[in-house]
A and B are shown apart, each in its own frame.
Chain A
Amino acid sequence: MLKLTFRNLAANKARFVMTTFAVVLGVGFVVASFVLSDGLRSSFGDLSDEITVGTDLQVRPVSDFGEPPPLDQDLVDRIASLDGIEVVAGFVSADDNAMQPVKPDGTTISSAGPPQLTFSWVADQGLGSFALVEGTAPDEPREFAMDIDGAEANGFVVGGSYDLVTPIGVVKDATLTATTRFGSDNSTLGAVLMHVSLGEAQRLFGSPGTVDEIGIRLAPDADATAVAAAISGIIPDSGVEIVDQATLNSEQKADFNQGINIIGNVLLGFAIVSLFVSIFIIYNTFSIVLGQRVREMGLLRALGADSRQIRRTVLGEALLVGLFASLIGLIAGVGIARGLIALFEALGASLPDAPTIVALRTVILALVLGVGVTVVSSLVPARAAAGIAPIAALRDGARLGSQSSRRRSLTGAALIGVGLMFGVYGLANPPGTTLALVAVLGLAASLVFVGVSLASHMLARPVARVLGWPIAAGMGTAGRLARENASRNPRRTATTGAALMIGLSLVSTVLIIGESVKSRLGDLLETSVQADYLIVDDSEAGVTSDLAAELAATGQFSAVTGFRYDEARLSGTVSEVVAADLTSLGRLLSLDVRSGAIPSDEAGDVVLLHMDQADELGVVVGDVVPAEFATGTTIDLTVAAIFADDTVIGSPIVPNAVFDSAGSADVHQWVAAALADGMDPDLAQPLIDQIQQRYPQVSIDSAAEFQARFEASIDSALAVVNALLALAVVIALIGIANTLALSVHERTRELGLLRAVGMTRRQVRRMVRWEAALVAMFGAMLGVALGVVFGWGAVTALPVNFADTVTIPIRRITVLVVVAAGAGLLAAWLPARRAGRLDVLKAISHT
């Protein structure tokens, strides 16, 4: 029987190529995600070694929560005087994008891409990991250095003078004194790495006389433990820790791996969706091909093969197809991984030279997934084939037996029910980790998909008839036959459509979530925000409080406040705390105060609490809540008001003075401003422009502009997700092409007859193409319907601040269905061409 398996495959090569293709793509992406992350992990591991190898010990501030206060710079000299120390240096590093150099063309480097990082220069290359390529290290104020690739890519040259956008405003005419190299091959992942002198770094990003961390290299004969003990003798008892090189290295690796794992897992997720879609295509192919071989199977049975042997032949075929596809997928996956690295490089991320690592685990997983998916998909067709009676050999038009329509629908309905229950349960009681939630929701969605594909054959005929009506009316007989063909085999239409349904349901879920979040933001800006301008730092590094002060000083605004964020421990629980100018606050945000009142900014140590948090803490207006800050300072705050609207801020709000006395950084994350009464926005614009020029890193937006920008950023995030989901849609379209090709083959005689009685080739092609369009539209509409259900579930589960009512982007979803139909037309291009080219005489006598 094994010989027969091989012969069958050899005879049906073409039919299996497309099936194989679906598996190849799915397996390919699984393999790519592993090869890519293994390669990156290895090269970033090397990079962490390189970064940390020169540092034997590091002294750094530490706190349980919030931002710990920096170290006293004197500590550097005191450590230097200890025995066994070769080099010691203090570091100051800026937040991502805190410093943005202005390019020769007058613009800054986009902060949407890889970050721009600035550090204080440390001459020792072992501690600092940087070497000078050209020029001299920055030493004076208004001097900086940049990594060689960043400088080349953005047109900075040594000796040139450039403006620097910094948290304290624009530094004019700074000199680029040097280009540098990070590690051995400047693997910056596209980040721009800059240096300024320690003094300049303290001026721009920190506070004078402090450092963020101290790096130490020991003398060759020194004992690390002894030196560490000596250091702990001179550092404060709490808030400072000493770590060794091994700890630094593993922290660095973990840091890199976090990013790598995200890339790997995202790829893996889409690969799994693709493989899942492949199941439907493989199932369909096996069913159709076996359906065409019923007589052959019957003959085998008549000649003495038992049903087990028939089943084994079919499963053997599936096994071989799966094995073949997995091996091709393995090779394709390595190619995809290389392609993705090339794509990252093209997008400007310079990756370290990642080795191509095909781990044994990757190979095994590729084979198990590829073969598993193929064999599982062929189980049902194999069982049906095993049930073929010997008499089928003699009967004309014998068909593959199958589950009764009723049982199929009931099974489908049951699966949908269980899937939805899983989904609702998962959303109502979200498990602890994101991975677990994704797993539960993924399982729920898979059950629903399979259920719908089983049950939807009941819908295939009526839906195809309704959708096909305009086609039949507008296209004459070819259109009418397209409609009949799409509804003549409802199960086939349902399974083929289901493959497309999966991709489209996910795409429309994403669109609905995006749209709901957008519309929620619109409502929120309308009801909760009264500010005329919102000033947001795109770099998220925060901006100096000077900006808000300058705005207020113009006298054209009735209220201006910046918002500072920190963490504090309130009655034992760590919570985010916001500081703002309380006098202005009430005129900028609608907090919906339920008890007490927002006091003036001079009210002293007060706090405004959201009602939920007040309940948790068990306090009312007038009670005192102690707040412990990361600096170690504890301040007793009196509850001045309890508010209900947490759309913008739900954290405790304190006056600026509280942050000042706690020692929190004076950096505004965002600023809100309201125009003075009667002030014309057009007249305010020059003022705004002036301030914008001094602080190019922020966007000063009116509420409408802010909304537009936010919506644009959501749209671009949606575009990325949908581009990845396009893979699943492409596989589904291959499935449609495959099914149509098999259907055309199955209907050879009928096509011959149609051609004989006068159907032109063009009419034949049109008939096949429109059948595909109908199948695609059926799948797309099922997908959109499911997408609405999933979207509704997701929006309901989202925190009410993100989205509260389901908004369906009808126009986009309509476009989606129309595009799917168009793609179906296109997918059927080849099968239609083949149908058109059938030799009439051979077709008529085809058996």
Chain B
Amino acid sequence: MSLLTTNPTATDLVAARAINLTKIYGRGDTEVRALDGIDVEFHQGQFTAIMGPSGSGKSTLMHCLAGLDRITSGSIVIGGTDLTALNERRLTLLRRDRIGFVFQAFNLVPTLTALENITLPMDLAGTKPDPAWLDTVIDTVGLRDRMTHRPSELSGGQQQRVAVARALAGRPELIFADEPTGNLDSTTGAEILSFMRRAVREMEQTIIMVTHDPVAASYADRVVFLVDGTIVDDLVDPTADSVLDAMKRLGN
């Protein structure tokens, strides 16, 4: 285990782990090593941000960890399950039952109401949501009176809150968020981020968030920096300033 991945909570349970993870696009002359031998662990009950410049591989890392993309070599373990050993169907079921997602935009199915969107993964699985937990989640996002509305009747911020609620509703082992505030104004963005932080602190959820915004990253417990497909820095308890400093260091 490299120095970079050790941190004060290393003894805690590991939610996701990448071992010598490599992802190569294309072949021959056009070959691009998007991820180049990454070893990293993400711990349960932590809010981790993955940062890096455009093309650093941060989104690819997230997609691979979430089972949305196939890797070239190495392995990924989510809560004891080796993703490389899973077929397409098993991967889908893993995403459905054990992972939550929040995307930058287009998070909700337009034909379903807010409530139906929140329970969608469980409905797909044919399982019933835990009513008490669902109540808690809905109250936390504060949209109880909007539950019968369709996405087109919600503002951008409300849509993202519904998306976060969906990610939480199934009590997944891990939630991935891909630039969740990228399309929001700063006030609404801050609201979503503090909400995500509360989910981690108070509801013991695990979130991995990809972002390029130092302010967003400052809400996390830890920031992992990627450049050219390798992890170059790892900050614990970041602030916007310490993240900016780290970015400046990487820029040089």
A binds B: yes
Q: Tell me if A435 counts as interface (CB < 8 A to partner B).
A: no
The residues in B between 54 and 70 inclusive whose CB is less than 8 angstroms from any CB of A are 63, 66, 68-69
Q: Tally chain B residues at the interface, Cβ within 8 Å.
A: 27
Tell me whether A754 and B89 are in contact (CB under 8 A).
Answer: no
The answer to whether B154 has its CB under 8 Å from any CB of chain A is no
Please, which residue of chain B has its CB at the minimum distance from the CB of A750? B109
**Would B103 and A484 count as touching, CB distance under 8 A?**
no
Alpha-carbon separation in the docked complex, A759 to B92 (Å): 7
> Is A488 close to B, CB under 8 A?
yes
Q: Which residues of B contact A759 (CB under 8 A)?
A: 92, 96, 124
Q: Is the CB of B112 within 8 A of A758?
A: no
Complex contacts, A753 vs chain B, CB 8 Å: 103, 106-109
B98-133 residues at the A interface, CB under 8 angstroms: 101, 103, 106-112, 120-121, 123-126
B82 at the binding interface (Cβ < 8 Å): no
Expressed in whole angstroms, the Cα–Cα distance for A750 and B107 within the complex equals 8
Task: Verify if B153 is at the interface (C-beta below 8 Å from A).
Answer: no
Give the residue of A476, A749, A758, A841 whose beta carbon is less than 8 angstroms from that of B96.
A758
Q: Distance (Å) between the CB of A482 and the closest chain B CB?
A: 10
- Report Cα–Cα, A841/B66, bound state, in Å: 11
Residue of A with least CB distance to B98: A758
Inter-chain contact A758/B93, CB cutoff 8 Å: yes
- Chain A contacts of B96 at CB under 8 A? 757-760
Q: Does A227 contact B (CB under 8 A)?
A: no
A112-135 Cβ-contact flags toward B at 8 Å (1 or 0): 000000000000000000000000
Contact indicator B89/A841 (Cβ below 8 Å):
no
Q: State the interface size on chain A (CB cutoff 8 A).
A: 23
Shortest beta-carbon distance from A847 to chain B in Å:
10
Contact indicator B166/A757 (Cβ below 8 Å): yes
User: How far apart are the CA atoms of A841 and B68 in the complex, in Å?
Assistant: 7
Using Cβ atoms and an 8 Å threshold, which residues of chain A touch B213? none
- Residue B88 CB within 8 A of the other chain: yes
Within 8 Å CB of A408, what residues of B?
A: none
Asked whether A755 is an interface residue with its Cβ less than 8 Å from the other chain, the reply is yes
In B150-172, which residues have CB < 8 Å from any A CB? 166
Across the interface, B124 reaches (CB within 8 A) one of A477, A484, A841, A844, namely: A477
A840 contacts the other chain (Cβ, under 8 Å)? Answer: yes
Q: In the bound complex, do residue B121 and residue A481 qualify as a contact, i.e. CB atoms below 8 Å apart?
A: no
CB distance from A752 to the nearest CB of B (A): 8
Cα A470 to Cα B110 in complex, Å, equals: 22
Does residue B97 face the partner (Cβ distance < 8 Å to A)? yes
Question: Chain A, 472-507, contact with B by CB distance < 8 Å: what is the 0/1 string?
Answer: 000011101100110010000000000000000000
Interface centre among A480, A757, A759, by most chain B C-beta atoms within 10 angstroms, is A757
Q: Are A840 and B110 in contact (CB under 8 A)?
A: no
Checking B88, B103, B109, B125 against A758 with a beta-carbon cut-off of 8 angstroms, the contacting residue is B125
A285 to B162, CA, bound (A): 34
Cβ of B146 under 8 Å from chain A: no
Q: How far apart sit A484 and B117, CA to CA, in the bound complex (Å)?
A: 13
Q: Are A750 and B120 in contact (CB under 8 A)?
A: no
**Which of A753, A756, A840 has the most chain B CB within a 10 Å cutoff?**
A756
Known: A757-B121, A760-B92. 4 other contacts (CB 8 A): A753-B103, A754-B120, A760-B93, A844-B68
Binding site for A on B (CB under 8 A): 63, 66, 68-69, 88-89, 92-93, 95-97, 101, 103, 106-112, 120-121, 123-126, 166
Top 9 closest pairs, chain A to chain B, by CB: A758-B96, A484-B111, A477-B123, A758-B121, A758-B95, A760-B92, A477-B124, A757-B121, A749-B106
What are 21 A-B contacts with C-beta separation under 8 Å? A476-B124, A478-B124, A484-B111, A750-B109, A750-B110, A753-B107, A753-B109, A754-B124, A755-B92, A756-B66, A756-B95, A757-B95, A757-B166, A758-B121, A760-B92, A760-B93, A760-B124, A761-B89, A840-B68, A844-B68, A844-B106
